[in-house]
Amino acid sequence: MEKKKVFYGWYNMVALWIICVVTMGFAVYSIGAVNTVMVEELGMSRGVLGAGPAVNGMLMGVLAPLVAWIINRYGIRAAMAIGSLFCLVGSVLMGTVVSTPFGFIAVYGIVMAFGSSAAGPLTTTTAGTIWFNRKRGLAIGFVLSSMGAGGFIAAPVFSQVIENYGGWRGAWFVLAGLSAIVMILSMVFVKNKPADIGQVPDGVVSEVEDQIEEKTSSTRIFQATRSWTLKEAIKTANYWLFAFATVGVFFSLMTVYAHSVAHFIDQGFPLEQAIMSVGLISLANIAGMLGAGYLADKYEPRYTFIGGMVLMIAAMIIAMHCKSTMSMYVFAVLSGLGIGCGMVIQANVCSNLWGPDHYASIMGTVSVLQTILAAIGPVLVGVIYDTQGSYYVGWIVTAAVCLASCICLTCIRPKELSVPEEEGYAACL
């Protein structure tokens, strides 16, 4: 009797999770502490401190189509290895060469941005769509949870290194070393497609198991039976409704992380408690990703997406009237759950609507639009605060954007997608 092969998909996801802990969790989520000390010691302004991450965040989205091209042309493994290499080079430059505002913005804002973009969410979620069908949501939720987990791990690591082992330069060298390790990890353990090693998505299942899975999950979730190209998808109303729906996730994410600490300090909370709320957002973010990933395999992902945006609206209402420590922490939990949910579910909605084959190209172009529009959030809310002297209206605006996302999601009609008659699509219940 032939021995059944062990499905490699989950091993692939674990390898990608570890890589993303470094390229996103360390290099993006928690690098602010290193940059703050670096900028202070080099005598740079707070404007420079803000400009570096702003350019970094913007370019991570704008560079997504280039990353999609690398994925389509050379595969997931190459994208992860190239991204890790750029994080390695960027970290070495930040720790040795950079000493001017221009150098700071150029290296952290451009070199590091490409590294985190190539070895980040677009590539890892593409892997999830290629390796999984029925467990796609859980796989994507798991691999994206690496960002929050990495940020949570990196904070105390960077703190100890800065204080005891070489200051901010030592912290950059630590990141360089970790980037080198995950670059090797990506080249050795990451596989591009199941077919490359003689497997199929979700692993080899028997006919009976396949029928059970089909009855219990697939009939409740729309999944395209053929993969659309970017050119085909972009001509549909669903593409634009989906693209604008994703803006709510990142508009609220950028706004919350940029202004929540300042808002709670204005409300009279101690700095330590305000900062602790941000840490709670990151932990809730992980729970939101894992929970949403699980639900995406059981129910139509668009409905879970709407649920995540409703949580964000509730968080904004609480922020508007926050007077107690408990309400501040409730805000942190709700916003973390909502953001985590949205980040995972958008990948599932995209791959379900248009199939996995051209997911990277479609999601890459969506990322450009969502990043540009979402970047308006923290700036707009900051301007509102400067004119009003309060974040009250800013939270209303953020809630309104999330509500607009809900409306866009309810207007998506998978059944109306136009395809050649002989190919057809699965029914959406």
Which pLDDT belongs to residue 400? 96
Q: In terms of domains, do 48 and 191 share one? A: yes
Please list the ranges in the chain whose pLDDT falls under 70: 1-4, 46, 50, 204-219, 415-429
Same domain, 403 and 281: yes
Do 386 and 257 sit in the same domain of this protein?
yes
405 burial class (0-12, 13-18, 19+ CB within 10 angstroms)? buried
* Cβ atoms within 10 Å, residue 324: 11
| The token pair that represents 8 in the structure block | 């490699």
d(CA 132, CA 117): 22
Copy the structure tokens of residue 191: 């596989």
Query: Same domain for 147 and 245?
Result: no
* 151 falls within a domain: yes
Amino acid at 281: I
Yes or no: say if 242 and 349 are a contact pair by the CB < 8 Å rule: yes
Residue 350 inside a domain? The answer is: yes
In a domain, 354, yes or no: yes
Residues 97, 62 share a domain: yes
Residue 52 tokens, joined: 């570096």
Residue 424 in contact with residue 225, Cβ under 8 Å? yes
Last residue of a domain, one of 197, 232, 250: 197
> What pLDDT is recorded for position 1?
44
Question: Contact 68/361 with Cβ under 8 angstroms?
Answer: yes
Q: Is there a single domain that holds both residue 150 and residue 232?
A: no
- 178 and 260 share one domain: no
Domain range for 27: 9-197
Give the N- to C-terminal CA distance of the chain in Å, as an integer.
41
| Contacts with 310 (C-beta within 8 Å, 6 or more apart), sequence order | 338, 402, 406
CB neighbours of 361 closer than 8 A, spacing ≥ 6? 65, 68, 69, 72, 229, 230
Domain boundary among 164, 197, 230: 197
Is there a single domain that holds both residue 229 and residue 281? yes
Unique residue bearing structure tokens 């796609």? 136
Q: For residue 422, tell me if it sits in a domain.
A: no
Q: How many domains does the chain have?
A: 2
178 in the same domain as 230: no
Last residue of a domain, one of 197, 231, 251: 197
Distance CA 368, CA 351 (A): 17
Q: Determine phi and psi for 234, rounding to 5 degrees.
A: -70, -15
Residue 213 lies in a domain: no
Query: Does some domain include residue 126?
Result: yes
**For residue 275, what pLDDT is reported?**
72
For residues 255 and 394, membership in a common domain is answered with yes
> Do 20 and 94 fall into the same domain?
yes
What's the pLDDT tens digit per position in 180-197? 999 999 999 999 999 999
Do residues 186 and 86 share a domain?
A: yes
Query: What's 316's domain CATH number?
Result: 1.20.1250.20
User: What's the residue count for the chain?
Assistant: 429
The average confidence (pLDDT) of the chain is 86
Q: Do the domain assignments include residue 211?
A: no
Does any domain span residue 161? yes
